[in-house]
Amino acid sequence: MALPTEGFLLEYAPGRLIVGEGPLEARPERAPNRLACYAPDFFLEDPAPWLHPASWHETTRDRLRATLGHPPRPAVRWQEPDAAAYDRAFAEVMAGIAAGSLVKAVPIVLEPGRWAGDPAQAIAGLLDAVLGSPGQSLAYAVWSSDRGMVGASPEILFTRQGNRVETVAVAGTYPAARAAELALDGKELREHQSVVDDITEALSPIGPVTVGPRDVLRLPGLAHLRTDIGVTLDRPTAFDALVRVLHPTAALGVFPRAAGLGLLRDAGPHRRGRFGAPFGVEWPDERAAVLVAIRNVQWMGPAVLLGAGAGLIAESRRDAEWAELQLKRATVKGMLGL
């Protein structure tokens, strides 16, 4: 199959995909009666985040992968991330926690690289890899002739059907081989609970909130604590308003939210692009499915970026967090064949 020069895909339910084919028309808002992909930057500053495809269709992972014909995996020459920049971010966040203005914050590390071959040939191999990856993460991608993003996220920002909105708290990380220990680690439990509290607090003004039991989400290479959360809207709420209610949760942002996102600009690379941003689709009937854009690679021309974040709380230790960031990046490289 020859992929379109521009396109997107979103796995809105396990195994079920929406594929949009370009050209993609970018607009500030979704055009009435049209399906569109919502693909802003992390700080929601993109003036035209809505991408309207020339055509779209639904399919399955297996069917789409079969059409790709098993293309070769692209190669990347990776460079070491900036450890000194992370050390400064770590110190700034921990100082805020010690001062009482923060409970948790999530600075990120960006590992740079460059394509070893033609970046225009990368997308088919990346899609084949992500569609063939096992586990419970949901695949997503957006691309054009010279830039793009491909990943598989374990974290749903929200889904909406009618007046019911579902989301999930995913925080607390262990290597997959030690998944059974995760629910016994007090530090990871407290980090996870801060995300549950953050989401519950954010949703409470728009309707009654339900919180499910905590369990362990097992993925290839990683395990996370997970709690399902839902709200029944008590008033009409637009897509953009729901995004701003939820994004970024404490899984990728700061808690309490009153501390503001300025810290994330200061404590870490501000050129993070779409890493951690909302990424989703809204149908013409206002159904919606939105992921958190983690576990991905982004590229612009020959330059590649692989991001990872790890939540810091009072008990966090620099070397342990750095090791978690390395583990997350290695997991993404393995998933994408990089």
- Asked if the structure places residue 257 within a domain, the reply is yes
Contact assessment for residue 34 and residue 303, using Cβ atoms and an 8 Å cutoff: no
How many domains in the chain?
Answer: 1
Give the domain CATH number at 148: 3.60.120.10
- Asked if the structure places residue 2 within a domain, the reply is no
- Asked if the structure places residue 144 within a domain, the reply is yes
Residue 78 confidence (pLDDT)? 97
Write down the residue that tokens 């990089």 correspond to: 338
- Asked if the structure places residue 92 within a domain, the reply is yes
Residue 1 confidence (pLDDT)? 54
- Asked if the structure places residue 1 within a domain, the reply is no
- Asked if the structure places residue 25 within a domain, the reply is yes
Count the helices and strands in the chain (H runs, E runs): 8, 20
Mean pLDDT per 10-residue run, the chain (338 residues)? 87 95 97 97 96 97 92 94 94 94 93 89 92 90 94 96 96 90 92 93 96 93 94 94 95 87 77 95 96 97 95 94 96 94
- Asked if the structure places residue 259 within a domain, the reply is yes
CA atoms of 116 and 129, how far apart (whole Å):
17
Contact assessment for residue 216 and residue 132, using Cβ atoms and an 8 Å cutoff: no
Contact assessment for residue 166 and residue 287, using Cβ atoms and an 8 Å cutoff: no
CA atoms of 50 and 282, how far apart (whole Å):
10
Range of the domain at 151: 7-69+78-336
